[in-house]
Amino acid sequence: MTRLSDHGRMNDSAPVIVWFRDDLRLADQPALSAAAATGAPVLCIYVFDERSAGLRPLGGAARWRLHQSLAALSESLAGLGARLDILRGAAADVIPSLAANAGARAIFWTRRYGGAEIAVDTHVKAILTAQGREAKSFNGQLLAEPFALKTKTGGPYRVFTPFWRALSTQTPIAAPLPAPKRLRAAIWPKGAPDRVALGELALLPAKPDWAAGLRATWACGETAARDSLEAFLDEKLAGYPAERDRPDIAATSRLSPHLRFGEISPRAIWSAARHRAEAKGAPAAGADKFLSELGWRDFSYHLLFHNPDLATRNYDPRFDAFPWRDDDAGFAAWTRGRTGYPIVDAGMRELWTTGFMHNRVRMIAASFLIKHLMVDWRRGEDWFWDTLCDADPAANPASWQWVAGSGADAAPYFRIFNPILQGEKFDPAGAYVRRWIPELERLPNACIHKPWTAPASVLAASGVGLGATYPAPIVDHAAARARALAAYRSVSGGKGEA
């Protein structure tokens, strides 16, 4: 065991380090609660690590969101008497160095579940243990950890329904922990790695500054997350099962960006929703459907833990032979919201402007790219990774693979969303389309989701010039569907419905 230097020898006043990652909050933060319980002075740190092998760099929208979350956490910690210190570098270098120079007695953190993240954490823990320090991790990110749920044969789940049954009915969900009432900030030790200011991380866009829509859309931080949850439970929970698929109605919680960086915990959401349903008479169906979405999040992490290359490799190896098309023009039109299918384009423009897209529209847009254009799902996943504020390392690839048919519990290959019918069903009056595609706002409801079918006189009266003010469809739905079905049959052995 490595001998501690004189100035680093642990004693009664030795500090405890809390290493924050995707858990940027005070309440239901087991690592922070454990540190507070020691009574020792605390060093609260965030390590911006772009050097450790295998870690996926954050996309632009997520970087913007991380800046806001870190700023909010810093303010919250200051209110308790603590301080957030930001470091930059490989975690296995800076954390052991800090611990040695501070003479830290223990280092606590929340567990992560990606392959590269686990490797980093395992390496850091080994170094700290060799130094003679306690290194302990906690579950603060999931309802149930991936290694805790197993099928009857002892393996990982591949289908959501039995996974959700095991999670929701057979797994005790721990009550959320309260935030510490007071913390004592430790002095930054001499010889420790240099701290950096939040602005030095350059997480915000500069030239051009494309984040105006994000700033206008989101309130960030733990208080905002809690307020969003309460507002949802008060106003939308009862109608959630019936209205959650309607992008024209503000019916969803919009908590996913808060969950992404841990401004709120899934256990806190679970507890609050259950309490509302049980104690205040809200319909149980609303809470059950809402909480099942947390179940899908846990399921995605279950898949990631057991398949670390989920974002790069087909879960179903049959899809390794799928005949993807290199349609750069089609991909560019999709990213810009210029496919000619209004519900798809509205979603892509909402994404670009706000860093968010309604979940139903995410499925429609993803299906269009994969099945209408036959562009590799990985290109779409990467675009969402860069443009979503809630770009999640598990949910993003798991969802894309679900739509593609290559994933676990995947949508059947013959399920090809018709963007016209999807728009008419879930945005019946065209309010969502009109919000994000103002050049179509004067079109009648009958043709708002298929403007190319409108008579020339209607287009003229509505100020729409197909191919000029708004594009004609870049692909015919029926022809694209037939092409996709043929390609899917080539890798599925011809099984399934046409």
pLDDT, tens only, 448-462 = 999 999 999 999 999
Token reading at 480: 């694209």
Cis peptide before 208 (omega within 30 of 0): yes
Maximum C-alpha span of the chain: 86
Q: Which of 474, 468, 433, 469 is nearest to 331 (CA)?
A: 474
Token reading at 259: 């969950």
d(CA 406, CA 315): 6
pLDDT in tens, 463-492: 999 999 999 999 999 999 999 999 999 997
Q: What are phi and psi of 398, to 5 degrees?
A: -65, -40
- Residue 106's H or E segment, with its range, is strand 106-110
Domain boundaries, the chain: 13-140, 142-175+221-306, 317-491
Residues belonging to the active site: 293, 296, 324, 359, 377, 400
pLDDT in tens, 184-197: 999 999 999 999 99
Q: How many CA atoms lie within 13 A of 288 on its CB side?
A: 8
Beta strand extents in 127-198 (DSSP E only): 134-138
Token reading at 196: 């950096």
| Helices 222-235 and 266-279, axial angle in degrees (round to 10) | 30
Mean pLDDT (the chain) is 94
C-beta neighbour count of 118 within 10 angstroms: 15
Sequence-distant (6+) residues with CB within 8 A of 237 are: 273, 276, 277, 282, 283, 286, 287, 290
pLDDT, residue 280, reads: 63
Q: 427, 433 in Cβ contact below 8 A?
A: yes
Which residues does residue 45 pair with via DSSP β-bridges, in sequence order?
Answer: 19, 85
CATH architecture of 13-140: 3-Layer(aba) Sandwich (3.40)
pLDDT in tens, 135-184: 999 999 999 999 999 999 999 999 999 999 999 988 899 999 999 999 99
How open is the CA angle 343-159-273, to the nearest 5 degrees?
70
Parallel, antiparallel, or unpaired: how do β-strands 134-138 and 106-110 relate?
Answer: parallel
Residue at token pair 């039995």:
162
In this structure, which CATH number among 3.30.1370.100, 1.10.579.10, 3.40.50.300, 3.40.430.10 belongs to the domain 317-491? 1.10.579.10
| Helices 359-367 and 377-387, axial angle in degrees (round to 10) | 140
d(CA 125, CA 118): 10
pLDDT, residue 3, reads: 36
Percent of the chain whose pLDDT exceeds 90: 91
d(CA 364, CA 405): 14
Q: How far apart are the first and last CA of the chain?
A: 65
Q: Identify the band that residue 495 occupies on the pLDDT scale cut at 50, 70 and 90.
A: very low
Q: Identify the band that residue 5 occupies on the pLDDT scale cut at 50, 70 and 90.
A: very low
- The answer to whether residue 388 scores a pLDDT higher than 70 is yes
Sheet arrangement for strand 42-48:
84-88, 42-48, 16-20, 106-110, 134-138
Handedness of CA 491, 495, 496, 498 (dihedral sign): positive
In this structure, which CATH number among 1.25.40.80, 2.40.240.10, 1.10.1200.30, 3.30.360.10 belongs to the domain 142-175+221-306? 1.25.40.80
Residue 493, burial from CB neighbour count under 10 angstroms (0-12, 13-18, 19+): exposed
d(CA 362, CA 240): 18
